[in-house]
A and B are shown apart, each in its own frame.
Chain A
Amino acid sequence: MNKKTKTPLFHVAKRAALPWYKTWAIRGAALLLALVLCGAVTSLVTGENPFAVYGAIWKGSFGTTRKIWVLLQNIAMLLCVSLAVTPAFRMRCWNLGAEGQALIGALACAACMITLAGRLPNWAIILCMVVSSLLAGAVWAGIPAFFKARYNTNETLFTLMMNYVAAQLVAYFCVVWESPKGSGTIGIINQKTEIGWIPQFPSQKYLLNILVVAVLCVLIYIYLNYSKQGYEIAVVGESERTARYVGIKVERVILRTMLLSGAICGLAGLLLVGSTNHTLTASIVDGRGFTAVMVSWLAKFNPIGMIFTSFLLVFLGRGAGEIATKFGLNRSFGDILTGIILFCIIGSEFFINYEIKLTRGAGKEG
């Protein structure tokens, strides 16, 4: 038997940096492919007209003024959590505990609203809410950060596990403060007195959150790109050894950045409970702590880019809900479409960094 060498049909090679228009062309093509795929899946599986489905997705976000406000509010909350994890991510410190940090901030906020009602003037209660939420979030991130800085424990696992502790604590306090007894629901906190409700712009219940997060976004951008601390974060992220060599106290940077990260998550919890929802449930953060990882990564840890990536994810999510309502399809169908689109977008990053080279003359041998 004569042995044949099998040459692969293609091989993958790392690309040199592409000019900006080519990278965006690849991304655009990916999005187009995603839409075509979504359309095909929709027609095949449900028999609905794909263009009607696209229309519904669009209407889910922009159909009415109210929907636009809800869209902006959801972007703001997702962006807030994403901004929180970004400083740590830039440092290559994988804080996957944003969900728990925001939850514990929400818990601290609800605790102030419930236990201080009637005991302090309203402004003092709101002040307590702000301080305790930020502090609670910071502590929740500070614990794994301390162990990371001191004993070099794995922050990914540690922060992840802290999520479950926070969720169980919230579940516990939902039972402590439940109304009526045994129902496990808190309902709207201080519904009649509105004690501890952060004052809102007249008839715009989401505007405050949106403005707070917009300002935060700019601040984080400046902090990361134009401050000494931001530079330290970048150096630690590139190489801890270099950072040590140039005299940066790496442990301090880790601790400080994680405390900041946690405090911003706490802020998200505060806004959710004190400003809009006025209730506490174990699902109030709604997985944003995990979605934020994707938002931050897709935008390459750039706070301004994150506005667009969080828009994309919220837009798709709202669209999914709209299809469910409009066509009586299951909500999961929207998730399938979101999955297809994200798969294509994340996949496109592969083609930006690598290229596929056909092996010359592959067909002739063998």
Chain B
Amino acid sequence: MKKILALTLALTMIFALAAFSPAASAETPVKAGFIFLHDENSTYDLNFINAAKEACERLGVEYMFKTGIPEDQECADAAEELIDEGCNFIFADSFGHEPFLIQVAKDYPEVQFCHATGTQAHTVGLPNYHNGFASIYEGRFLGGVAAGLKLNEMIESGAITADQAKIGYIGAFPYAEVKSGYTSFFLGARYVCPSATMEVTFTNSWYDPTLEKEGATKLIANGCVLISEHADSMGAPTECEANGVPFVFYNGSAADACPNTFIVASRIDWVPYMEYAMTCVAEGRDIDADWTGTMAGGGVKMTEVNEKAAAPGTAEKLKEIAALLESGELQVFDTATWTVDGATLTEYLADVDDMGDFVPETNVIADGYFHESEFRSAPYFDIDIDGITNIDA
């Protein structure tokens, strides 16, 4: 009897092994190729580079990087070279890479292409081309709350009066991704500091340390007492540190370089998206045309609060508000909290389907708030709201 039992057990194990091994080999081995606009000196690209390494190492995926790839034919060449090297998953990180990646995706239907921040995946009709982004407006809002708390601290200490609570913001380009970002940041600040106002200036470049530094200088000279930004160099933070002006950052912590003025930063964590997409490739599943990371899903992260620069109690307050955002109790773009020319919007047509025609076609305001990153992953909030002044206009 024992012998039979032993035999049965042994047979079961053999069958189990036999059953598992074909399943394991049915999984397509993934080789990932990443295309970055700059290298690790850009905070934006560094955030992607770190995520790519982490995601690939977690999944045990072989990977290759191409850094410093401009937004022209070179991007298409880089993608094709990666495919020549055997990559079956291509990821590009810059908005302007999109049309060139689409061009290549048409020629290589067996390779999966993921593109961060792009807008065309849901309309271009290619099953192997996908866009990803995250509801970073939640993170920006939290950054704004930290800024608002700092403003309140300055007002209470008598350093400034309530109507001097002016924020300065350095943006790269005046389009939806940046506008959505600074508007949510401003709404966060005003959520805790109602008298806050904001001035915005643009550099018209994603990475230009000199222009970003000059932007900060200009805003500080204009009387801005706190700075935030959406551009990719350390230009503005170093200027803030030199002038002792507190700032809220993006893409990663600047606590090492600017220990006295860095408050907190929000960033997109690309690991969940990359893991999701590469797992799909491995298992032969379809990747969604649009994928939006959320705070609840770990796609939006806040860095450690720098207690030295932040107002007391900032970390606790951020946790409390993050919970409200995650539960949906609090909406970042609640139409009751902002106006355009003094009026509250009840509907707004956004250009969600980016066909190059600039024709807005989708109503994105419903249930009392602006539905950002729901109709496609890339932001489409491009409204100029009251309280924010574009000083370049």
- A interface list, Cβ under 8 A from B: 64, 66-67, 70, 171, 175, 179-185, 187-188, 191, 276-279, 281, 283-284, 286, 321, 324-325, 328, 330-332
Contact = CB atoms under 8 A, between A and B. Distances in A.
Given A187-B96, A278-B73, A281-B70, 16 more contacts: A64-B84, A67-B84, A180-B175, A180-B176, A182-B173, A182-B176, A187-B98, A188-B99, A277-B73, A279-B72, A281-B72, A283-B72, A324-B68, A325-B65, A330-B39, A331-B68
B342 to A, nearest CB: 24
Contacts of A66: 77, 80-81, 84
A183 B175 contact: yes
A175 B202 CA distance: 13
Contact of B66 (A181, A184, A325, A330): A325
Interface in B170-216: 173-176, 178-179, 204-205
Contact of B72 (A181, A182, A284): A284
6 contacts: A66-B81, A180-B175, A188-B100, A277-B73, A279-B73, A283-B72
A180 B119 contact: yes
Contact of B81 (A67, A328, A330): A67
Q: Which 4 A-B pairs have the closest CB atoms?
A: A182-B175, A188-B99, A185-B96, A182-B174
Interface in B23-81: 39-40, 64-68, 70-73, 77, 80-81
A65 to B, nearest CB: 9
A70 B354 CA distance: 31
B328 interface: no
Given A182-B176, A187-B96, A328 B65 contact: yes
A331 B74 CA distance: 15
A283 B208 CA distance: 14
A100 to B, nearest CB: 18
Nearest to B356: A179
Contacts of B100: 188
Interface of B: 39-40, 64-68, 70-73, 77, 80-81, 84, 95-96, 98-100, 102-103, 119, 173-176, 178-179, 204-205, 351, 354, 356, 358, 382
B96 A191 contact: no
A324 B73 CA distance: 19
Contacts of A278: 73
B96 A188 contact: no
Interface SS of A by simple majority: loop
B204 A175 contact: yes
B363 to A, nearest CB: 19
Contact of B358 (A70, A180, A191, A286): A180
A184 B64 CA distance: 29
A119 to B, nearest CB: 17
Given A277-B72, A284-B72, A182 B99 contact: no
B81 A64 contact: yes
B77 to A, nearest CB: 5
Nearest to A278: B73
Contacts of B81: 64, 66-67, 70
Contacts of B204: 171, 175, 184
B71 A185 contact: yes
B58 to A, nearest CB: 18
Nearest to A185: B96
Nearest to B120: A187
Nearest to A281: B72
B356 to A, nearest CB: 5
Contacts of A171: 204
A213 B204 CA distance: 35
A283 B70 contact: yes
A187 B99 contact: yes
Nearest to B82: A325
Contacts of B179: 182
Contacts of A330: 39-40, 67
A332 B67 CA distance: 11
Contacts of A182: 173-176, 178-179, 382
A302 to B, nearest CB: 29
B67 A324 contact: yes
A222 to B, nearest CB: 31
